[in-house]
Amino acid sequence: METEKQEINMYYSDILVTLGNILDPNIRGEIYLGKRSINSQTYEDKPLPQDDLSKEGYEYNKIIEEQIEKEINKGQLTLTMFTCPNGDATDVKNDFPRIIPTKFNQDQVFVQRLPLLLNLIKTAERQEIPINLNVIIGDTDFLTYYYPMIESNNIDVDFERYIKRVTTYRDSLVCKLRDTFSKNGIWVDICSYGDQDITNLGLRETKIQKSTINVISLMLNTLNWGTDEIDSRFIDQKDIKEEAFYTSRRCNNSRRFDKTIFADKEDSVYVQMARIKAKEYREQGKIVKDLGGKIILMDELPPALKTRFLTNKGDLLFIFPWIRNEDVWRTRNSNELEIVNEMKRTLKG
């Protein structure tokens, strides 16, 4: 029995290396404690620890290790990650559906994740550990927390065309994943979900024989997740205020937004949007659990804030460095930046 335990630890160690361990222990600690240790008002600034949280950070790693071992003992490791299309909200008055790109391209943040995913699944394949990866496309933003501005400007959503673009983007992402993994010699099933009831497909109970990637559109499954009111009592109002700051800054400064629609609003509008976003994230956290997952490969910023939005009393675990400003290829000398750039050149065709 001791031999089996030691073997599982070895598996975990190999997989952890592929996931990376870049994030500072202090920040892992703030995730674990659910508290923020960053002074600055912007998540691009270097985190400034106010407390020594490294002990809690290492403790959080142990909890993640135990969960991974538990899942490996059951025969597969289920992971979840979110990816958002880079929308174009510069012409929402005349062409709302344009917010969703019709094709996955090199400008998507997810491109930076592909080399990491290839490495992760390749390592798991060598260890004969099937990875069950749920990739959830966040394609509902402008019909949820951005919607107050859409509605107040009487913009024609053209829902039917929007759905078509969502479907086209999802299918394009699936095709790119299939092409990328096959070219790298990795034996993986890539499945597409969206226009069917996932909750009735038994993903939670499915035992996979090889690694599987399930590409899931939030928009195309809106009716399948249920409409139960989530418990938002544990969403701190300070977090709402912080998120409202980021929302305001994005709406006022991003060149991808129509300033006449999104900029220069009352603070109360951005607070309203932040409240909707917090509840939407909490609902998405429930979706992760419904799909049988507990571990999220996370790159949302700022880390502590978004993990608190997603989780309800610690029911999910978060693995970084799936965080853009902390990517391994930005923080050490290696050829990984060139790998990402090559991936982008390939996607350009």
pLDDT-based confidence at residue 318 (cuts at 50, 70, 90)? confident
pTM comes to: 0.82
Q: Where are the domains of the chain?
A: 76-348
Q: Are 137 and 83 in contact (CB under 8 A)?
A: yes
Mean pLDDT of all residues in the chain? 76
pLDDT at 124: 85
What string of DSSP letters covers 40-106?
SSSTTSPP--SS--HHHHHHHHHHHHHHHHHHHHTT-EEEEEEE-----BS-TTT-GGGGS-SS--T
Please give the Cα distance from 289 to 279 (Å, whole number): 16
Stronger pLDDT, 342 or 144, i.e. the higher one: 144
**For 100-122, how does the pLDDT look when each residue is reduced to its tens digit (9 = 90+)?**
998 988 778 788 788 888 888 88
**For 248-269, how does the pLDDT look when each residue is reduced to its tens digit (9 = 90+)?**
988 998 888 999 999 999 999 9
